Structure 1
């Protein structure tokens, strides 16, 4: 039995298997936490399998997780499906619609470097079965990348996403949460990767809206950024990198996927992150930031790619998790490293 969090160490479920809930989130329902995400158990980086559906786990203490199985299955017989194992399906997010009594799941589908769409599914139960209601959705006519979904106390829902590869968008969702209304705001315009913000994670604390984002470097980690606003649509003020003691500029070699407010705790928020490439922690952010800069300037011939070492096989089946508490000084948010920590450390 686990009695604490050990960031960056292999995290096993109650059956003794690696937890496969990457790029995911945690939702709290009737006294039980459900952690869901990309199932990478078959993704060895060589067999062409990007995902094996969406998996879900349940827990009452956040330390020990029971495998509840695959809640959105891969569609292995349809190579044109966004759920085919070779399709680049990322970052499932599920929210509950109190009005329709439906769980609504959005999936990001990468169809190419600059073309990304969404698949939307609904279910009557968090564990499914889920039914596709939209596929190939281009919200607001945009190529939509990494995202988060959030629901306000009044039931209105919002969709924060990376407009590939330029800026962050906050868009209002329709009443059934399966599309956007057309109303949106724009934030954090950046010239190009790796500076464009992605992996947006929203949370609300003491009247303030927070957005945690990463830079755009694929599975290679980079500095995070936190921004704060008074309203859902901002304007957002950038506070900077919350990992102030991270000299590697890699967010402790991880990428935040979501933020969890712990039930029963006065002010405990957990930044839930993936360590996608645990065997590549020797790589330096400044080196591949330079590489990206030259590539986007059309000067890639000036970069010595041998500095990157061998191209990593992206075996994300062995990706780990880095869950860390968020520390607040007034309104400012910080994330410190802990080799081990417990919920008991907090009120």
Structure 2
């Protein structure tokens, strides 16, 4: 029997402000950094949290253990799939996630449902000995991940009270198997828009892992070195904050003008815009309606991108199936609908992204379907923000020898005061992802002497 999850926070909308009131909870010093980790039982010497035949357990692991055993005892720690301050999730090397079902802990593929996300999220608490942690169920407060006869369960703390604290405590240590460099953002995120703003790099992605791409929250991440990323949490939740959309929060982009930041996003297959005085929000909707409404043109009105030229004029691009562009007015939240251009781009599917280098305009875009391993990036060049566009071919594609599938929905950023460029994109989560379980990464982008782009090499 499933119990109703217990709410941990209440979001209240007051005018243009969003206030989150969190129920009082004790302070905890314990934390688990994201990345590859192994967790050792505090009271069963040499035993580690692991999975076997998709069931969670603890088992002995040592330097002489097989590569498979070591891999089974290594998890990638990510921010909690269901959110929550100080909460985390655990992804195995096969791409599945630790979750509890009927209180038994097992590995399963992320179904993207609210139940799954909550079942796979654990909040970090202080352990029974110094330096150890306990993992409290996100949706069943008072129940903790613990080993019972070597099996992993989510049990109430009243179970075997004499040994429960130790049975539910783990030391977080070096992973038995080294983690990959990527994804650069731990967890399931797609459609990344990368930008350099106010002295930092920012990534604004789609929050992934939902059936039908039905997520509602946008988050922001920032970095000074493209390696270590700070999670700034939810900056816009279309459910409570946008009157005309409640889900399908996809593919955002950001621009800066007029001393403000403008966040363009897809919501319920419309395009909206929200504004803030900081790259991390809080963002509010100045229009109360879509900027580009569903049905305005043929195809889906999704995947916005804003390019600001060196003369300060900004242009909005968007489309799925058809590619469109228009000059934005100086207020950044309006345009002349009669001036919308339709572009002829070979193989275009979605995700138009324009940038400029040495007076050449580059139109990059995604080809095929995001659910296909053949999803990839092509590009064209032109002499103006509206072309005419000359097709140049593919610059990013799958590499099955590395398990890289569906790399696309790209964005591009230039390092300040340099001619160093990077492409951010998503791919199927490795090794068991698909079109709704994707991860974000970054690779260098290089140019030939004639200005054409060299193939981007996808890496792990």
Q: Does the pair score TM above 0.5?
A: yes
Taking a change above 3 Å as real, the CA distance of residues 22 and 232 of structure 1, as seen in their structure-2 partners, is same
Paired with 1:247 and 1:89, the residues of 2 have a C-alpha distance of 30
Alignment of 1:26-105 (within 5 A): 26-40=194-208, 43-45=209-211, 50-75=214-239, 81-82=244-245, 84=246, 87-97=247-257, 99=258, 101-105=259-263
Question: The residue matched to 1:133 in structure 2 has which SS?
Answer: coil
For residue 268 of structure 1, the aligned residue among 393, 409, 420 is 420
| 2:314 match | 157
Give the structure 2 partner of residue 170 of structure 1.
Answer: 325
Residues 7 and 326 (structure 1), Cα distance of their counterparts in 2 relative to 1, 3 Å cut:
farther
2:202 is aligned with 1:202: no
Structure index of larger Rg: 2
RMSD between aligned alpha carbons?
3.3
Residues 199 and 256 in structure 1, CA contact (< 8 A), matched pair in contact too? yes
Query: C-alpha distance in 1, partners of 2:201/2:237?
Result: 21
Structure 1 position 107, deviation (Å): 1.0
- Structure 2 SS opposite 1:333: coil
Q: 1:171 to 1:280 in 2, by over 3 A?
A: farther
Q: Deviations over 1:81-127 (max 9, x none)?
A: 42x3xx11211111011x3x2211111134xxxxx321211112111
- TM-superposed CA distance for 1:28, in Å, is 2.0
Contact 1:7 1:338 in 2 (8 A): no
Q: Distance in 1 between matches of 2:324 and 2:180?
A: 31
Number of residue pairs matched? 277
Any stretches of 5+ residues in structure 2 without a counterpart? 1-32, 35-177
Q: What is the deviation of 1:72?
A: 1.0
Quote the offset at 1:219 in angstroms.
2.9
The CA deviation at 1:24 is 2.5
Return the structure number with greater relative CO, CA threshold 8 A, min gap 6: 1
Superposition pairs for residues 222-261 of structure 1, below 5 Å? 222-243=375-396, 253-261=406-414
Distance (Å, rounded) in 2 between the aligned partners of 1:25 and 1:208 = 21
Instruction: Please give the alpha-carbon distance, in whole angstroms, between the structure 2 residues aligned to 1:252 and 1:269.
Output: 23
The TM-score normalised by the length of structure 2 is: 0.53
- In structure 1, list runs of 5 or more residues that go unmatched: 111-115, 282-311, 341-347
- For 2:383 and 2:179, how far apart are their aligned partners in 1? 31
Cα distance in 1 for partners of 2:388, 2:199 equals 35
Q: Shift in Å at residue 234 of structure 1?
A: 0.9
Partner Cα separation in structure 1 for residue 266 and residue 406 of structure 2: 23
Is the aligned partner of 1:324 residue 2:456?
no
